[in-house]
Amino acid sequence: LSETRTFGQEVAVSVRFFSRLSLSGNYTYLNTKQYSEKVSYDGREVPGQPNDDLYLRLEYDANVFARKSSIYSEWNYTGTLFLDRGNLNEIPQRNLVSAGLQGELFSGTSLSFEMKNIFNRRVEWIALGREVRPGISSLPRAVSDRLGYPLPGRTLYLSLRSNF
């Protein structure tokens, strides 16, 4: 990259209510610009960096059959980002929701079940700014990570953890 300017803010929060319910999260805002002698790059966003990134987790802790257990839900929003210096290859914003359960089986061993991408989001739409043909003003793009690799749809995880 040529010369760049990045300005941003980040805030994190963690709050517990009634000793059982907790809310935690963080938000990052970035304003990035490239400065270049090449007109096609000058003033464009830095690739791989979304302007907005938000993560929230709501968790409820309980005792079930005298064992520590919890249930939680997570929400992750990532704003639009670009994969190239000219800002032509766009990864659209994404909203992903996950949820899970975790329970202690016996001292030091727990079992958890998690569902990621609950709403099976596989495609987001990129607005074109104008109609390219009648009725077509956006294009589909696979929900992807920051490198452009498609993310899976609804995914289930079952985990057994043990501390020795």
The per-residue pLDDT for 157 is 97
What is the bridge-based pairing of β-strands 94-106 and 109-116?
antiparallel
Other C-beta atoms lying within 10 Å of the C-beta of residue 8 = 12
Which of the four pLDDT bands, split at 50, 70 and 90, describes residue 60?
A: very high
Q: What is the pLDDT of residues 100-151, one digit of tens each?
A: 999 999 888 999 999 999 999 999 888 887 777 888 888 888 999 888 899 9
The per-residue pLDDT for 146 is 85
Residue type, position 164, single letter: F
Asked whether 59 and 28 are in contact (CB, 8 A), the reply is no
- What is the arithmetic mean of pLDDT over 13-42? 93
Distance CA 10, CA 98 (A): 23
The per-residue pLDDT for 108 is 85
What is the bridge-based pairing of β-strands 94-106 and 90-91?
unpaired
Q: 55-88 burial string, b = 16+ CB within 10 Å, else e?
A: bbbebeeeeeeeeebbebebebbbbbbbeebebe
pLDDT of residue 2 exceeding 80, the answer is: no
Q: What is the pLDDT of residues 63-98, one digit of tens each?
A: 888 889 999 999 999 999 999 999 888 888 999 999
pLDDT of residue 153 exceeding 90, the answer is: yes
The per-residue pLDDT for 88 is 87
Asked whether 33 and 44 are in contact (CB, 8 A), the reply is yes
Distance CA 25, CA 83 (A): 26
The per-residue pLDDT for 116 is 96
- What is the arithmetic mean of pLDDT over 54-63? 95
pLDDT of residue 51 exceeding 90, the answer is: yes
Distance CA 115, CA 132 (A): 38
* Angle subtended at Cα 89 by Cα 155 and Cα 133, rounded to the nearest 5 degrees: 100
Distance CA 147, CA 92 (A): 12
